[in-house]
Amino acid sequence: AEHQHARYNPLRDDWVLVSAHRVKRPWQGQLEKPPPEDVPRWDPNNPLCPGAARANGEVNPQYEGTFVFPNDFPALQPDAPEPGDSDHPLFRAAAARGVCKVMCFHPWSDLTLPLMSLAEIRAVIDTWAELAAELGASYPWVQIFENKGAMMGCSNPHPHCQVWASSFLPNEAHLEDRTQRQHLSQHGVPMLLEYAEQEARRKERLVVENTDWLVVVPYWATWPYQTLLLPRRHVCRLQDLHKGERDSLASIMQRLLIKYDNLFEVSFPYSMGWHGAPTGPYLEEDCGHWQLHAHYYPPLLRSATVRKFMVGYEMLAQAQRDLTPEQ
């Protein structure tokens, strides 16, 4: 708790430096502006609102629940050409194709997930599962992720996330596939299923739990208030969740996000995303080494205005955090 040490992250096969004493040092660095509290419920200039025009000229329908549409500025497109052959092994390129979608959680801009009802959050989960199944029928990886707050790069004050489906396994997915496969081979049990059982028993880093789910600050956490959302049973993909598990997922997500907001009494920024077994051609393979999970990476460190910067040592050496996960 008081002395620096390194902790191993078995999911990424790397290490994080824990320097618990550093959080006591005085702070004279950049202060962030708290998020605005006067977001209008509907703004005709907000391209995510019902009835508003987007950059490509299309007008959103008067949607009343979730709303999914193609990203107007996609990072991946389905018809991108082959990059051509390389003339040297140090200058390799590969094809990268896919689709990018935006998903609005709710028609009101002044809401966030923790302020939505359980039924509304459940509708979000159902749409996530539908997209994962629909895009996963042909694409190997479907990344559902939410950037909440301007601090995390969110440019539109409206409850929404993004869904990128790719023709390849991204780096993090490829890494987690390898480490989970190796753990099952060596220990005979899926890594994150065993980890959830251990954390539920130890109760040192447990944040919230219910019958089907638990949320922990992982032993190897990098971000100050990073959490890992885990199912208690073996589940490979979002679309594999049954009705009861989707209801309890809505409940535990709401509880977790309310706690985040209450921590510094601010609408808490974060990046979150779901990781599950690959899809597309992998649907025909045994992916029993995978366990569905969601990562939450919040940047706030000391208060609503002081953030943890991942620079310098983190970029050039390895991840480092200023308080222990237990603290």
258 pLDDT higher than 90: yes
- 183 touches 191 (CB < 8 A): yes
Residue 91 annotated as binding site: no
138 pLDDT higher than 90: yes
Q: Beta strand pairing status for 14-18 and 319-321? A: parallel
Query: Does pTM top 0.85 for this prediction?
Result: yes
CATH code of residue 199: 3.30.428.10
Residue 33 annotated as binding site: no
Q: How far apart are CA 274 and CA 240, in angstroms?
A: 13
At residue 152, the pLDDT reads 78
Q: Beta strand pairing status for 227-231 and 293-297? A: antiparallel
Which residue is it, tokens 């989970």? Answer: 180
State pLDDT tens for residues 261-280. Answer: 999 999 999 999 999 999 99
Residue 236 annotated as binding site: no
- 235 touches 241 (CB < 8 A): yes
Residue 154 annotated as binding site: yes
Residue 22 annotated as binding site: yes
The count of domains in the chain is 1
105 lies in some domain: yes
List of residues 6+ apart from 171 with CB closer than 8 A: none
More confident residue, 91 or 155: 91
Lowest-confidence pick of 98-102, 293-297, 312-316: 312-316
Catalytic residue among 106, 158, 160, 289: 160
Backbone angle region of 189, left / alpha / beta, with phi > 0 → left and psi within -120 to 50 → alpha: beta
What integer best gives the mean pLDDT of the chain? 94
Residue 100 annotated as binding site: no
Residue 58 annotated as binding site: no
26 pLDDT higher than 70: no
296 lies in some domain: yes
Instruction: Tell me which long-range contacts 5-9 makes (C-beta under 8 A, separation of at least 24).
Output: 7/219, 7/220, 8/220, 9/218, 9/220, 9/222
Structural domain for 146, as ranges: 35-321
**Measuring CA to CA, how many Å separate 203 from each of 27, 211, 253, 308?**
32, 15, 19, 26
State pLDDT tens for residues 76-135. Answer: 999 999 998 999 999 999 999 999 999 999 999 999 999 999 999 999 999 999 999 999
State pLDDT tens for residues 193-251. Answer: 999 999 999 999 999 999 999 999 999 999 999 999 999 999 999 999 999 999 999 99
More confident residue, 43 or 29: 43
42 lies in some domain: yes
2 pLDDT higher than 80: no
Which residue is it, tokens 């440019």? Answer: 155
14 lies in some domain: no
pLDDT above 70: percentage of residues in the chain: 97
16 lies in some domain: no
24 lies in some domain: no
45 lies in some domain: yes
Q: How far apart are CA 60 and CA 50, in angstroms?
A: 5
Upper half-sphere CA count for residue 105 (Cβ side, 13 Å): 29
At residue 28, the pLDDT reads 61
Confidence of residue 24 (pLDDT cuts 50, 70, 90): low
Under DSSP, is residue 291 helix (H, G, I), strand (E, B) or coil?
coil
Respond yes or no: is residue 160 known to be catalytic. yes
- 108 touches 42 (CB < 8 A): yes
314 lies in some domain: yes
